[in-house]
Amino acid sequence: MEELPSGPAGGGKKELGGGPRPEDLPEDKRCRIIDAAVAEFAERGYELASTNAITARAGVSKGLLFHYFGRKKDLYLYLVRHVVDRYTERFFKDLPELDPDVIERVFQIALHKQRLLLEEPQVNKFLIRAFQEIPEEVRPEITSLQAELGDRSEHILTDGVDVSRFRRGIDPRKAVILVTVCLEGLQELFKERLTPDLAECPEEVARMLGELREYLDILKYGLYEREEGGGPTDGSRLPEGEGRGC
């Protein structure tokens, strides 16, 4: 079996500065604050979320919250990093053996993400808000984290791919690049449907997976029947002007 060479996993966790840290709190109290804050930010978003509501939910004083977590911005960034690290750890821990077929692997990973999405709707609602509705106040930090996550997961799509399955004469690296570019385009296509409420709508998630399967099958099996001379087998063409750019 021919394989593409492996790439580095990357990643790493940033440490907070000096002074009191959330980790200095008793675990039960820290978990109450984290759960309360995730719920508040998930339901109301960054701008409308209230630290008063968070402390009330968690049953702690506002002074304690600020002492260990800092300002609202500091709390939010801590939560995003905490939830992302927890999600990433679970994603890789529960990830099944990856299919050597790169197209099937894309769908396999999508199914795995679906399971995680539906198992913890509140947490995933928080993450979708964090990355789809990026508050201006924290945009640089969130954008940096997005890039880090991309580097950390880039190897998943290519490590161990069986390039001997590609049609004879196809450059394996170009084939994988094509799959990657198409996947980025599909992510952009589905972007508007990745709303915070998606985790609470399993029917919509299933519809999106069905559409993804259709697009992947087109990519896997091609658009045209292969015949002598090439071109569409029935001589059909798009109507005049359709499918053209400006």
- Does any domain span residue 243? no
CA-based nearest residue to 111, from 125, 123, 99: 99
Are 38 and 179 within 8 A, CB to CB? Answer: no
- Number of domains forming the structure of the chain: 2
Dump pLDDT digits (tens) for 196-223. Answer: 888 788 899 999 999 999 999 999 988 8
Give the model's pLDDT for residue 201: 86
Query: What's the pTM value of the predicted model, to 2 decimals?
Result: 0.75
Range of the domain at 112: 82-221
- Does any domain span residue 135? yes
Say which CATH number the domain at 193 has.
Answer: 1.10.357
Is 123 in the same domain as 64?
no
Give the model's pLDDT for residue 228: 60
CA-based nearest residue to 44, from 110, 102, 130: 130
**Mean pLDDT by 10-residue block, N- to C-terminus, for the chain (246 residues)?**
41 52 94 97 95 96 95 96 92 90 92 87 91 92 90 80 87 88 89 84 91 93 70 49 48
Instruction: Supply the DSSP symbol for 7.
Output: -
214, two tokens: 């259709």
- Does any domain span residue 12? no
Give the model's pLDDT for residue 130: 93
Is 179 in the same domain as 131?
yes
Is 107 in the same domain as 157?
yes
Is 128 in the same domain as 49?
no
Say which CATH number the domain at 48 has.
Answer: 1.10.10.60
User: Any alpha helices (H) in the chain, and if so which ranges?
Assistant: 27-48, 51-58, 62-69, 72-94, 102-119, 121-132, 139-158, 172-190, 202-221
